[in-house]
Structure formats: structure tokens, C-alpha cells
Amino acid sequence: MAKTAWPAPDRRKLIGSYTSRLDGPQKATGAAKYAFDINRPDMLYAKILQCPHGNCKVLEVDTKEAEAMKGVAAVLVEKDARSGALPEITFAGDTVATVAAVTEEIAYEALAKIKVKYEVKPPLMDDRNPANVSGRESKTATGDAVAGFAAADTTIEGYYGLACVTHCCLEAHGQVCEWRDGDLYVWPSTQNVSGYAGGVKDTAALPLEKIHVDCQYMGGGFGSKFAADAWGNIGVTLSKMTGKPVKLMLDRDQELKIAGNRPSSYAKVKVGVKKDGTITAWDSNCWGSGGQQRFSLRTLPYVFTGIPNQNTLANGVITNRGAQRAWRAPNHPQGCLITMAALEDAAAAIGMDSLEFFKKNLSLTDKADIYAEQLDIAAEMIGYKQKAHLRGDKTPGPIKKGIGMSMHTWGGKGHPSQCSVTINPDGSVVAQLGSQDLGTGTRTAITMVVAETLGIPMDKVRTELGKNSYPASGASGGSTTIGGVSASSRDASTKALNVLLDKVAASLGVPKDNLEAWDGKIQEVGNPAKSVAWEKACSMMGMMPITQQGSNPPGDLTELTTDGVGGVQMAEVSVDIETGVVRMENYAVVQDVGLIIDMKTAESQLFGAMVMGVTYALYEEAIYDNKTGAMLNSDMEFYRLAGLGDIGNFKVHFMTDEKYQSRGVIGLGEPPVISPGAAISNAVANAIGVRVSELPLTPDRVLAALNQGGVA
Amino acid sequence: MKPFAYANPKTIEEAVKLLGDAWGKTEVLAGGTDLVTSLKQNLTSPDKVVSLKDVEGLSGIVAADGSLKIGATTKLKDLIANAEVKKNFPCLVTAAESIGSPQIINVGTVGGDLLQRPRCWFFRQGYGLFGTYEGAALVPDGDNRYHAIFDNKGPAQFVNPSSLAPGLIALGATVRVHGPSGTRDLPVAELFATPKADTDREYTLKPNEILTYVSIPMKGLKNATYEIRQRIGLDWPMVTASVAYEDSGGKAANAKVVLGHVAPTPWVSDKAAAALNGQAVGEDSAMKAGAAAAEGATPLSMNGYKVHQVKVVVKRAVMASMA
Ligand SMILES: Cc1cc2nc3c(=O)[nH]c(=O)nc-3n(C[C@H](O)[C@H](O)[C@H](O)COP(=O)(O)OP(=O)(O)OC[C@H]3O[C@@H](n4cnc5c(N)ncnc54)[C@H](O)[C@@H]3O)c2cc1C
């Protein structure tokens, strides 16, 4: 009988292999249809009129002229959900009205004809000023900080911060809605196929079974696409009002303004250290803003949670920008930067090599052994021994080089997931689940697991996901997808296989407990001589296919997915101390991640995270005007993302020893994006001899830091 | 975008006749990399767009009478590839190449680069050329990290974005402009002017004039451009400098130093030029020219770093000119 547990290393053909995405060709040729690409007969285009003010009350909306335009099908004015009155608006870019028209051009023109009167109030935008806090205070104290600092030989005091960044998904948010025969069909770009319908059901006034969600391909979400959102509900309403399909996708400008952001965080930190590198105390006062959402950063100190004698205080500033959303590893990149930068400053203050300092203090983390091993590997990869120097590159000339490092941690256990697997009498196999492939390779990984379990090639298995009519599977957030879907698909395919083995046992004359699926055959365990080919075996089931449901956690409660990974990253940068420009040289990524299903897409996760990490470390920042509250760089020109020329050389390494892999599958979406800000900031400090307090590390900030000291 | 009439004239005379005499009623379309964005963002809503694509004689590079004449609709890629340009005007090649995006270099034109509108984010977000909101200026207390450090007493505080203009001015180039009553020539430096009203444009061209070519004297000047760019790919420079001078036995004469991204117009620094003239060109004079270029800067609340960068770009441009 086949067992649910993951196969032993010598029984893995597909799991752990470099397998290309199955839908790569479709994506490259354009055959893959994203929400943006869905076109329905007679479809209308909806466009949103955005409020230009960060803080105001809408007094009057005159839509007469817009409504009278030829080609305009409907104009929907935004109302307060509870009172039904015209709304108070608390961030620029929020919706005032929406037009549905037969072409995009007419919709835009109609927007220009809507006349709005506002009562404008000053917005609060300054999140750097701690005097503005009004969020939720959180305080912790462990040990005796006073005594801890008294015991230190040196106490450093530093200020560190990260700007607000957005998700900037390649595919903007939005959806196409269509009513047909009393049912609602929605094609959204979503991270939450099985849960999406719940977000529009009240607007649609339909039972959930009448709402059909379909998302086959997705251009990223990073935590910003869990909900149906205001625009989802507007689309449903407009489609209902007009009786026509309605496409409502955000423009790039709106995507950047209103579709989510990562909270900013700023902190004053004190660290006490002894001359020998022992950390004796930590004190942090942190604030930041989640926009309209209450926020306080509770990830300090990060990774080195065992620092004795800590005081932490965290609070938030409510600003007039859109509400924060989960951003790839929520609150970890901020905690990581603030902690690793402060600790590295402490090492520099006592003249100690950073690597030695971090190693010495690993007992303050909960993964000392893993980090120790990873630090050595990363050091080897980046050539630390040959290149390392204490803070401040003494090489003559304007170009200074430096290395910095950081460590991170994440959970990543699989979410609840259900999957159904059908084995057809002709040997073809279909797996179905209400999950989604954000572009990460989920579809490919599921296919690999099912094919591996059944001992057949991947092209015999079709994986169908992206519809809420399939067995429900969790939302893709927190690196929970790969663990969830690989477990449920393993469970379902194992169960289906066992039904098949039952049918084949008699004809092979082998008890079913002694059968296995291997190499395109059903065979006696370890004995290909006693076997029957897969197709032949399947034909024995008669006319009825076998369908089995599997789940995470599996029915027999086998643990296929676990929690908790560590990673180390090292960055090498060069800094032109005359211009302030930072360039990436080399980057080493060492990641522990449990059992890897697809090595290739797993590596892609690391590469993608690195590009995103370099971007928020060096370039990315949502810039708002303090008088209007408007985002000033809501375009791809000044909302800078790293390009190919900017990212330097990446090297990646996975911890693939059996002791790591035997823990089962663990998610990888978040962990690698946590450290880049800290590692790159530390590398710049190492290069130029002074800390640049805030990310992104733009030339103006680098030059300002150099004015305070350093090698210049 | 407001619907507009589209005209595709074949001759320059025809084209000029199609233009109106007030800004914004009609617009000229070259490569469209700037104009189309402006149309989409409703920064301009003309009734008519006049394309230069089929106008005869506007594209191409020819040497005549000791000058190199570059047609207004010559693509940036053809400018970069031209042998005479490469040999004589490295300051232009560096500037055009550094625009960094093959798409823009393949479509954008020399005339369009000179006459593109400011990238000031207040302007681009719809607060007008001077960035005003409820009657108040947004730039002085707002995020002005990319704004002007010279000639910035207002109301114009944006920077001129053209990468080619500083080099062309340093080389002593002129432009020919065609209007309803014929043609006129003017130095490239005089093509630009700091606007006083937000209905003005940043150039001295009239609404019914078309730039037809740029003419650069081939006088064997040493020249170079240096730009500070944050990213390698498509991006805007933070500060740039182009220098050109006669090399008289290792000493500079008739030097010109022109800065980009520091003022509402390309910024000619006479002080920097004076620091170079008569001096042996080298690190020492380069640094002095850089320091002189930064003199008199009046940075805003967030762009003091540019004053420092001015010193660096001028120094590095001078050093590059020796290569
Ligand atoms: C992200 C980004 C980065 C960029 N980086 C740089 C950079 O670093 N340096 C740089 O210099 N540029 C840069 N560019 C701008 C680019 O170079 C210009 O958009 C391009 O050169 C404009 O040329 P065009 O032919 O497309 O002009 P168009 O868009 O056709 O025209 C631009 C303007 O000039 C007017 N115009 C054009 N030709 C004539 C003429 N012959 N007579 C009268 N008026 C005319 C038009 O009416 C319009 O107002 C960048 C652009 C982007 C989007």
C-alpha cells in the first residue's frame, strides 16, 4: 500500500528536480489569459474617478454631463457604506465615482466631465516625526535594561528607517464581471480563489454557489490581492446595473496609489556590548505608518530575540495614505533592517569583524546551528576571507567596496488545502484544487507531486486550479501555498493510487500492501520483473474512473509540511563616495527550506526576492506630497525598480541535506526577501565607514551620511 | 485623452500652417515618447496634433559648410550611430546613449529631446507647470529633491530634462526654426527660457514654429559629458555636465560648461568656464571648475546634495574630455 509520507531520497525522481514551469510557453506566447486579457461579448470598460485630495469630504458630485455622453452605460457615485451619504475621503486616489462605457476612451472622457465639490482638509502625511504617533502602542520589557547597559563596555545609539513602498504588482488589480442566467461570473486577479466570492456576495446578493470565480494566471500579488476590494464590488454592481460584462482593471497610477503598501518603520535603537562582542542590552523606540490602518512594528529585536535585558516600545502614525496590506513577509524586512543594522553598528563600534560578531551571538537566536552553517557557506560564496575589512574601505579613489550580512527567519507551514485526484481508465490523471498560481510555479509543483506519487511522467497529469468550483484551498499568503497544495495533492494521489492497487493486486498475484507505483508501472516493491504497465493497470478499473479527495493536513495526519526556516544573505556593494551612487556587486543567498519540490522554481523565488530586495534597498519609495496627500511618483519613472543592469551577480544555495529536507515541505515566498535591505545597508556602511540611516540608500542619503563622517 | 484631429503634412510649410498661435490648441508630434504621455495624462488637450513623420527633409545628418546639420526628426539611435558625431561630439553620444532605454532611443528624436516638457512630478501629476494647489506653490515645502538649485526663486523651480541640450550648447550649436513668416536661426542656449507664467512654455519657440534642424560647428573642440545616474537602465540623471573647449597646447580656451537638471533651463556656468580658460586641463583645473560651477547655488529644502554633485560632474566631464 502506498504511504502518504514523502518518498525517501532514492525514491524521488521528480521531487527536487529542475523542472521548467509547465505554463512557461503559454505565458511567453500570450496564450495565457490574465484577468486583463479576458474579453467578453458586449463588454463595458469601467474607469475610476480618483479623489485628488488626501483628506476631504465629498460635497457634491454632478454626473449629468457624463451620463449624457454617447457610449456611457452607467455612472456610479461612491457613497458611505453605512450612512449612504457622500463619503469622507482619507487618502488621495480613493474612488469618487466610476463610469462604465463601451470603450476605455469614452470612459476616461466621461470621468473628465464629472464635476465634484470637495471640502478639503489638511492631510497628515509626515510619518517620520514620532510626535505624530496615535496608533496602538506596544511595550515589552525583559530582564533589566538599566543593569544590561551598565554592564556594557560600549553603548551605541542609532536611528534606522525604511520608507513606505507599494506592492507594484506586474499585473494591476482588477477583474471582469459578468451576470449570466442569474449567476455571477468573475475573472479576478486574486491570491485567494476559494475565498474571493465571499468578498462580493453581499453586493451581488447571491448565495456563494452562484458566484463562479476563475483565475488561471496571475501577475503577482505579494500580499495585496487577498480581497475582492472596493473595485471588485464596483465591478459587480456596474455589471448588474447594465446587464453587461464589465472590465475594471486599475491603471498603473492607481495600482501604486491605492492597491496596498508596506508600512514605513523608523526606530531609535540602543545596543549595549562588551569588548568581546557579548550583547548585554537592547532598547528600541519604533514608530511608522500603515497609512489608514493602525500599525506598530513588533518584530524587534529580530532573530536575536534572546538578547538579555530588553526594552521595546512601538507605536504607529495614522497618515492619510491608503491602508497597508500584507507585503511579502509582513513586518520582517523592517524588523530585520533595524536589528541587523543596529547590531552591525555595535560590532563596528568595538572594532570587531561583523561575521565574528554575529557568530559569537548566535546563541541569542533560536536556530544557532543552522545560522552557523549558513554563515560559513555564505562567507565562502562571497569570498569573505579574501575581501572582508573592518568598517571603511581604505582603498584610494572614490569607489569603496564593502560586504554586509543579515539573517532571517520565517514559518511557512502549509495552509489547509483540499485536492481531488482522478485516475481515468486510460491512465490519464487530473488533479483539481481551488488554489492559484501567482506566477510562482504552483501548477507545476502540484503536477510534479501527483506524477511522482503515481510513478508516471508529468505529461500524463493535468492540474486544474484557479476555480472556486474545485475543492477549496487556502489563500496564497505567508509562504503557505506550496506546503498546503503539495500535501493535499500527495494525500489525494496516494489515496487514488491505493484504490488502483487494490484493483491490480489480484491480477499481479501480489498483496496490495506490497505494491508500488514506480517508473510507469505498478510493481511488486523493488521488483520490476513483477509489474504491469501504468496504462494496463488503469484499464483494469473498468469504465469508472477513480476519484479521491486529499487534504492538508492529510486524513491520516502524516506531517507533510512543517514550520520554521532560517536564511543568511551577504551583499557586496561598491559605493561612489563622490556621487553617492551604490552599485550591487555580488550577492550570496543561503536558504533553508525543507523538502524542495521544484528546484528550478524554488531558485526563481530566490532570484525574484533578490530583485525585489535590491529594489527596496536602493531605489523604491512611495513619495507623498505633504500638502495635498497625493502620491507624487505613481509611475514607473520615479517609482524606481531595479533593472537587469542594477542587480549585480546573485549566487544561491539551498540547504538540501536530508536533515533539512526530511522536515517536509516549507514555503519559500517570503524568507528570501527579508534580509536584502539589512545586508545591503550593512555592506554600504562597511564600504563607506558610516551608516546611511534610511532605506532606500539613494545618492542624496549616502552623501548626507558621508557629510557626518566615514571615509570621505 | 480628449479626441483630436490628426494631420500628417508632407512639407514644412504645410505643417506650419496647420499650427495655431496659442499653446495647447495644436501640438507637434515627433517620436511621441513624451507627447503621447502628456496627452494621456491630460497635461495638454489639443484640438489638433500635427505629425512630423512624413514631413520631407526633417530627418538625417549631413556635414556642410564646416557644420554638422542634424534634422529635427533624426532618431536618437541614428545620432548615436553616426560616424561624424562619434568622432567629433562624444559629449552628445554619452548623453544620448545614457538615456538607456532602447525603446526611447529607437523612437525618440533629437528635436523631441530638446523640446520635451519638464518631468517635475507636480507638473506631471496635474498641478500645472509651477506646481500649485489651492493657490499655493507646492515645490518649496514639498518634495523637491529633483528640483532646481539655480534660477529657482520661482515660480519655475523644475529642471530642464533634455540630455542633449547641455552638450549642444557647449558645442556652440544653433537651431533653425520655421514659422509662418519664414525661418530664423538661434543659438541652442536661446531656445530655452525660464517661464514667468504657467501658460508659457520652457522654450522660446512660438506655438506655430517648428524646429527643423540643429547645426553644430565642427571646430575640433574637445568635449565630454558626465552624468550621475542612480540606475543603469532607463532613468533620469540627477545632475549632468557637458564641457567643450579649444585645446591650445594642453590649455583650455573658449571653454563652455553647461549643467543639466539643475535649473529650469540648461545652465551655462560662466564661472566654471572662466576657471578652465587658460589653464592646463587636468585634475587640478577640473576640480576648480567644479567648485566654480557650484558657486551661487541656492538649493531648496531637499536638494542640497545636488550642489555637491555639480562639483563632481564638472570635474569628471573635464577629466573625460581628456581621454
Ligand atoms: C522613463 C524615461 C526616462 C527618460 N530619460 C531621459 C534622459 O535621461 N534624458 C533625456 O534627454 N530624455 C530622457 N527621456 C525622454 C526622451 O528622451 C524623450 O521623451 C524623447 O527624446 C522625446 O522625443 P520624441 O521625438 O519622442 O518627442 P515627442 O514626444 O514627439 O515630442 C516632445 C515635445 O517636443 C515637441 N516637438 C517635438 N519635435 C518638435 C519639433 N521638431 N518642433 C517643434 N516641437 C517639437 C512636441 O510637441 C512635444 O511637446 C526619458 C523618457 C522616459 C519616459
CATH of the domain at B278: 3.30.390.50
B98, B116, B230, B312: best to mutate for the A interface, most A CBs within 10 A: B230
Residues A24-46 have pLDDT tens digits of 999 999 999 999 999 999 999 99
Task: Tell me the CA–centroid distance for residue B177 and ligand 1, in Å.
Answer: 17
Co-location of B170 and B275 in the same domain = no
**Among chain A residues, CA nearest to B226:** A579
In a domain, B105, yes or no: yes
* Residue whose grid cell is 511522482: A452
Q: What Å distances lie between residue A409 and A367, A393, A568, B292, CA to CA?
A: 9, 30, 9, 52
In a domain, B246, yes or no: yes
Co-location of B95 and B73 in the same domain = yes
Co-location of B69 and B127 in the same domain = yes
List the one residue out of A420, A367, A698, A681 whose CA is nearest residue A549.
Answer: A420
Subunit contact A645:B232, Cβ cutoff 8 A:
yes
Of B196, B217, B238, at which residue does a domain stop? Answer: B217
In a domain, B304, yes or no: yes
Task: Tell me the CA–centroid distance for residue B114 and ligand 1, in Å.
Answer: 7
Instruction: Provide the pLDDT confidence category of residue A670 given band limits of 50, 70 and 90.
Output: very high
Task: Tell me the CA–centroid distance for residue B305 and ligand 1, in Å.
Answer: 27
Mapping DSSP to helix (H, G, I), strand (E, B) and coil, where does residue A70 land? Answer: coil
> What pLDDT is attached to residue A176?
98
Q: What is the CA radius of gyration of chain B?
A: 19
- d(CA A238, nearest CA chain B) in Å: 23
Task: Tell me the CA–centroid distance for residue A27 and ligand 1, in Å.
Answer: 32
User: Is residue A569 within 8 Å of A409, Cβ to Cβ?
Assistant: no
Residues in A closer than 8 angstroms to B119, CB to CB, are 637-638
In a domain, B14, yes or no: no
Beta strands A649-655; A694-695: pairing state: unpaired
In a domain, B131, yes or no: yes
Of B217, B236, B268, at which residue does a domain stop? Answer: B217
The domains located in chain A, with CATH, are: 35-122+173-249 (3.90.1170.50), 344-412+562-707 (3.30.365.10), 414-552 (3.30.365.10)
Single-letter code of the amino acid located at B176: R
Instruction: Provide the pLDDT confidence category of residue A712 given band limits of 50, 70 and 90.
Output: low
Question: Is the CB of B319 inside 8 Å of chain A's CB atoms?
Answer: no
Task: Tell me the CA–centroid distance for residue B157 and ligand 1, in Å.
Answer: 20
Question: Which among A109, A626, A646 has CB closest to B231?
Answer: A646
Subunit contact A627:B233, Cβ cutoff 8 A:
no
In a domain, B168, yes or no: yes
Grid cell listed for B138:
507646492
> What pLDDT is attached to residue B146?
98
Burial status of residue A10 (CB atoms within 10 A of its CB: 0-12, 13-18, 19 or more): exposed
Beta strands A246-249; A649-655: pairing state: unpaired
Cis peptide preceding A553, ω within 30 of 0: yes
Read off φ and ψ for residue B313, nearest 5 degrees: -65, -40
Q: What is the DSSP letter of A415?
A: P
Instruction: Provide the pLDDT confidence category of residue A557 given band limits of 50, 70 and 90.
Output: confident
List the A211-213 sheet strands across, edge first.
A72-77, A95-101, A44-50, A246-249, A174-180, A183-188, A211-213
- d(CA A643, nearest CA chain B) in Å: 6
Co-location of B167 and B267 in the same domain = no
Residues A248-278 have pLDDT tens digits of 999 999 999 999 999 999 999 999 999 999 9
In this structure, the residues whose C-beta lies within 6 A of any atom of ligand 1 are: A 637; B 27-35, 52, 72, 99, 104, 107-109, 111-113, 115-117, 161-163, 210-211, 234, 236-237
pTM for this one?
0.97
Co-location of B77 and B186 in the same domain = yes
Mean pLDDT for A638-656 is: 96
Task: Tell me the CA–centroid distance for residue B51 and ligand 1, in Å.
Answer: 14
Burial readout A603-633 (b: 16 or more C-beta within 10 A, e: otherwise): bbbbebbbbbbbbbbbbbbbbbbbbbbbbbb
Subunit contact A643:B231, Cβ cutoff 8 A:
yes
Grid cell listed for A697:
540608500
Question: Which among B2, B121, B312 has CB closest to A638?
Answer: B121
Largest distance between two CA atoms of chain B:
60
Query: Which of B45, B59, B116, B117 most suits a substitution to test ligand 1, by most atoms within 8 Å of the C-beta?
Result: B116
In a domain, B43, yes or no: no
Residues in B closer than 8 angstroms to A92, CB to CB, are none
**Among chain A residues, CA nearest to B302:** A700
> What pLDDT is attached to residue A1?
85
**For residue A130, what are the contacts with CB-CB under 8 A and spacing of at least 6?**
A266, A285, A287, A315
Q: How many residues does chain B have?
A: 323
Co-location of B179 and B123 in the same domain = yes
Residues in B closer than 8 angstroms to A625, CB to CB, are 122, 138, 142-143
Structural domain total, chain B = 2
Mean confidence (pLDDT) of chain A? 97
Of B178, B197, B217, at which residue does a domain stop? Answer: B217
Residue A84 falls in which region: left (phi positive, over 0), alpha (psi -120 to 50) or beta: left
Residues in A closer than 8 angstroms to B231, CB to CB, are 619, 640, 642-643, 645-646
Instruction: Provide the pLDDT confidence category of residue B1 given band limits of 50, 70 and 90.
Output: confident
Co-location of B126 and B196 in the same domain = yes
Subunit contact A700:B143, Cβ cutoff 8 A:
no
Evaluate if residue A135 carries a pLDDT over 80.
no
Report the C-alpha gap between B276 and A572 in whole angstroms: 38
> What pLDDT is attached to residue B30?
98
Co-location of B203 and B243 in the same domain = no
Grid cell listed for B155:
515660480
Instruction: Provide the pLDDT confidence category of residue A354 given band limits of 50, 70 and 90.
Output: very high
In a domain, B123, yes or no: yes
Which residue range(s) make up the domain with B297?
Answer: 222-321
Residues A490-541 have pLDDT tens digits of 999 999 999 999 999 999 999 999 999 999 999 999 999 999 999 999 999 9
Mapping DSSP to helix (H, G, I), strand (E, B) and coil, where does residue B40 land? Answer: helix
User: Is residue B148 within 8 Å of B137, Cβ to Cβ?
Assistant: no
Question: Is the CB of B141 inside 8 Å of chain A's CB atoms?
Answer: yes
Measured by CA distance, the residue closest to atom 41 of ligand 1 is: B211
Question: Is the CB of A581 inside 8 Å of chain B's CB atoms?
Answer: yes
Mean pLDDT for A219-239 is: 97
Query: How many contacts, defined by CB atoms under 8 Å, are there between A and B?
Result: 85
Read off φ and ψ for residue A343, nearest 5 degrees: -65, -40
Co-location of B299 and B169 in the same domain = no
Grid cell listed for B173:
550649436
Co-location of B207 and B304 in the same domain = no
Residues B11-23 have pLDDT tens digits of 999 999 999 999 9
CATH number at residue B96: 3.30.465.10
Return the percentage of chain B with pLDDT > 90, whole number: 96
Residues A75-105 have pLDDT tens digits of 999 999 899 999 999 999 999 999 999 999 9
Mean confidence (pLDDT) of chain B? 97
Measured by CA distance, the residue closest to atom 48 of ligand 1 is: B35
**For residue A192, what are the contacts with CB-CB under 8 A and spacing of at least 6?**
A225, A226, A227, A436, A475, A476
Query: Which of B25, B27, B33 most suits a substitution to test ligand 1, by most atoms within 8 Å of the C-beta?
Result: B33
Co-location of B89 and B238 in the same domain = no
Co-location of B153 and B287 in the same domain = no
